Each structure stands twice: as C-alpha cells, then as structure tokens.
C-alpha cells in the first residue's frame, strides 16, 4: 500500500520553482516581450474597431454615478444606460426629475471629470 500523508504537516514545496504565471499576487509578472507588445497593440486596435473600448468607458460612467452625485441623489435616480453620449437616468417622481434637470450641467461636468473624458454629452431623466 502507498504511504499515508499526515495532512496536519506543512506541505512540501516542489523541487523546482515555477517561472511565471502561478497566479500568486505577490509574484512579479513576467517582463513584456516585443511580441507581447505587438499582440497588445493588435488587440487594442481590434477592440477600438469593434467599439468595445467605448462600451467599457460607457459602463464606467454607470459605475461612478453614486460617487459623483452623492447618496441623496443616488437614492432617487438610477442610471439605466448610455448610448451615443446620452445617459438615461430613471428618477423617482416628477419633483426630482425637475430638480435634476436643473442640475444636469453640473452632474454631466462632474461625471466627465471623473471619467477623464467627454463621454456624457447629455443626461435624459425619465
């Protein structure tokens, strides 16, 4: 019969040290090669052509909404989506819709500053 292992003892390390890619956060990533940089460039161009980069930036606008508008507004106004620079926001009640319409320019400016781009051209409150 085979040996029984005592699971209470510390596990022995393998005789060889893995070079890269063990998934451990504390280990350094392998250095980028010229090939890696070319592949990254091709992927970036492809993502841009397919509109993936734009969609990622649009989703970032939805993620920063709560931080930009604050807890009070975030509790009554939820972003629904963004398309072609128009952010659609669902609002609880006509009074809040009216108030947020007046605040739209400031909210849009702060959103774009948080995103470091002019992604949001207008906000439509529903």
Inside any domain, residue 34: no
Inside any domain, residue 83: yes
Q: Does the structure show a pLDDT above 90 at 117? A: no
- Whether 88 and 80 have beta carbons less than 8 Å apart is answered as yes
* pLDDT, tens digit, 9 for 90 and up, residues 47-100: 777 777 777 777 788 889 999 999 999 999 999 988 888 999 999 999 999 999
pLDDT at position 66 is 92
Range(s) of the domain holding residue 115: 59-125
pLDDT at position 53 is 72
3-state secondary structure of 64: coil
Inside any domain, residue 70: yes
Q: SS3 breakdown of the chain: % helix, strand, coil, rounded to 5?
A: 50, 15, 40
Inside any domain, residue 101: yes
* pLDDT, tens digit, 9 for 90 and up, residues 12-48: 555 555 555 555 555 556 667 787 778 888 887 877 7
Inside any domain, residue 21: no
Instruction: Name every residue whose Cβ is closer than 8 Å to that of residue 8 and which is 6 or more positions away in sequence.
Output: none
Inside any domain, residue 1: no
Inside any domain, residue 39: no
Inside any domain, residue 117: yes
pLDDT at position 110 is 94
Gap between the Cα atoms of 50 and 42, Å rounded: 12
Q: Does the structure show a pLDDT above 60 at 9? A: no
Count how many domains the chain has: 1
pLDDT at position 1 is 53
CATH code, domain carrying 87: 3.30.300.130
């Amino acid at each position: 019969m085979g040996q029984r292992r005592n699971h209470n003892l510390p596990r022995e390390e393998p005789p060889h040290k893995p070079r890269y890619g063990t998934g451990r956060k504390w280990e350094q990533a392998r250095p980028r090669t010229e090939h890696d940089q070319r592949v990254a460039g091709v992927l970036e161009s492809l993502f841009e052509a397919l509109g993936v980069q734009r969609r990622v930036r649009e989703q970032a606008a939805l993620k920063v909404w709560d931080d930009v508008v604050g807890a009070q507004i975030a509790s009554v106004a939820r972003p629904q989506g963004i398309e072609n620079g128009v952010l659609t926001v669902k609002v609880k009640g006509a009074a809040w819709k009216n108030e947020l319409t007046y605040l739209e320019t400031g909210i849009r400016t702060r959103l774009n500053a948080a995103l470091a781009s002019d992604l949001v051209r207008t906000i439509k409150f529903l």
